[in-house]
Structure 1
Amino acid sequence: MSDKERLEYIEEQVQELLTLADSEGCGEANLLAIYNDMIWLIEQAEKVEQLQRENEKEQKRLRNQIYETVEEKFLLEKQLRQAQAKIERYEKALKGIKNDIETDYTQEEIALGEMTSLLTVIYEQAQQALEGEK
């Protein structure tokens, strides 16, 4: 028997007791007080049941919210790792370009127009960095 069924049974029993007391004319005030107390207890039990349903619903909502927050966290961490990798590629490419210029060309050559092969090297390194090649 469920809690609700038991409370309904008790309420019926108290109602029968009141009816019996009325028919015999005895203890009406006591029985009425007991009946009022029983009604109050039943109302309290119903409130508890309602609160338990609301609590379960809120727990489910919070579990879903936690799940969504965890998913968002993992997505943000993945995006951060990708951004960090991109920054590292760009830094490597820029350092490589700087090194190539300093190693392969003198300031005079750069000033004299030896820029075609330099620009080709710079373009290729920049393209590789943008495409994600290492």
Structure 2
Amino acid sequence: MKKLDTWLLQELADRKFAHAFLETEANARFAAQVRALRKQHGWTEADLATASRLTGAAISDIENARLNLLQLISLRKLARAFDVHLSLKFESTVDGAVEVVRFVETDLAVPSREAELRMHGVYSVLPPRFGQPE
């Protein structure tokens, strides 16, 4: 195990540290993923604001990890705009820390729905309108 991994796991014994660390990391990762998905779609912040029906200021706050008052409805609007599933879950602090340590930038990418359906051999049997923006 690397020194950082060992240090982090030792620090997780402190409950206050564990939660502060993981909340900060979760905010940073979520912000990075929103930015990565926006760029993957070739959108500006204004484009994402329009697609998600959020304000430009809200998009800026999200991409800069200012998430303290972010509501679940806003998260769902972003998921719909990106045409992805929003997954919320609780997990142990140790699992959360291991995920942080093992993080690689490619973890931020989300394949398109069409690509996933093609991979599963389903896309060719769907109606022609499927996959078109509403």
User: TM (normalized to structure 2)?
Assistant: 0.28
User: TM (normalized to structure 1)?
Assistant: 0.28
The structure richer in helix per residue is: 1
| Bigger CA radius of gyration | 1
Task: Name the structure, 1 or 2, with higher relative contact order (CA <8 Å, separation 6+).
Answer: 2
